[in-house]
A = this chain, B = another copy of it.
Amino acid sequence: MLMEIGSHRADKPGGRIRQKNEQIIIAAAEAEFAANGFKGATMNNIALKAGLPKSNIHYYFKNKLQLYIEVLINIIDLWDNALNELDADSEPAAALREYIAAKMRFSREYPLASRVFAKEILSGAPRIKQYFSSEYREWFLRKTDVFSKWAQQGKIDPIDPAHIVFLLWSSTQHYADFEVQIAAALGKKSLSKKDFDEATDALTKIIIRGIGYQG
């Protein structure tokens, strides 16, 4: 979906050193973009974090925008691998429990990825307009279909499925994106696995019950 933006991928040769350095740079860039956003990020900071000379970054990536796009592509790949679709044929409780758990796992394991993406969207997504195309809309409708089906079968209440999906996204991403606020509220420096597990539990209970599923 995003790959069309930067037409450079399958046509990469990929010596061993190159691949390794590119991965180091992308990881460093992810941290820098998460902290300072696209405009605020500097190639210098990325080089420092990567432990490479500044101009090596330019050697491996044409410019800042291309590097940024590569970071985003990486994130979407991660996303696709970590999250399975909601299974319409399962019972709502089981399907939702698994989906929420997967989303929360993602928030805990890849908070930087979540934040880079969040910042892009907060800015109005000027660098990834193509991503939010009609294709995206269709992908979203397949998501909501699951809930429509469940509602038709009388398994859950007739609540607008779009807003159920938004709720699943917002409530789970929140723990990655707003971690410092949540930690401060809980009186901690950062969140532990236990905090994430408790959050997963609470969210699962509230949402399953909230949409009217009766064990």
Q: Known: A170-B170, A171-B170. Contact between A119 and B37, CB under 8 A?
A: yes
A167 contacts the other chain (CB 8 A): yes
* Chain A residues with a Cβ closer than 8 Å to the other chain, count: 59
Contact B121 A177 (CB under 8 A): yes
Q: Known: A157-B205, A207-B210. Contact between A181 and B39, CB under 8 A?
A: no
Residues of chain B contacted by A159 (CB below 8 angstroms)? 202, 205-206
A103 contacts the other chain (CB 8 A): no
Residues of chain B contacted by A167 (CB below 8 angstroms)? 171, 202-203, 206
- How far does the alpha carbon of A201 sit from the alpha carbon of B159 in the complex, in Å? 9
- How far does the alpha carbon of A184 sit from the alpha carbon of B165 in the complex, in Å? 14
Contact B170 A121 (CB under 8 A): no
CB within 8 A of A122: which of B119, B140, B182, B207? B119
CB neighbors of B among A170-215 (8 A):
170-171, 173-175, 177-178, 180-182, 184-187, 198-199, 201-203, 205-212
